[in-house]
Copies of this chain bind each other. A is one copy, B any other.
Amino acid sequence: MSDEDPAAAAGLARIAIRHAKPSDYGRVIGLINVWWGGRDMAPMLPKLFFIHFEGTSFVAEAEDGELLGFVCGFLSQTADDEAYIHFVGITPEDRGEGLGHTLYERFFQEVRAQGRSVVRCVTSPLNQGSLAFHEALGFEVERIAEDYDGPGEDRALLVKQLT
Cβ–Cβ contact B48 & A77, under 8 A: no
Q: List 12 A-B pairs, Cβ < 8 Å.
A: A26-B147, A42-B151, A42-B153, A43-B43, A43-B44, A46-B86, A48-B86, A52-B78, A52-B79, A52-B82, A52-B84, A55-B78
Number of interface residues of A (CB under 8 A): 31
A30 at the interface (CB under 8 A from B): yes
Cβ–Cβ contact B77 & A150, under 8 A: no
Partner of A51, one of B29, B44, B78: B78
A47 at the interface (CB under 8 A from B): yes
CB of A153 to closest CB in B, whole Å: 7
CB of A158 to closest CB in B, whole Å: 13
Chain copies in the assembly? 2
What 1/0 flags go to A131-155 for Cβ under 8 Å of B?
0000000000000000111110100
A60 at the interface (CB under 8 A from B): no
Q: Using a CB-CB cutoff of 8 Å, which residues 34-56 of chain A contact chain B?
A: 42-44, 46-48, 51-56
CB-nearest residue of chain B to A28 = B150
Cβ–Cβ contact B47 & A76, under 8 A: no
Partner of A55, one of B43, B74, B77, B86: B77
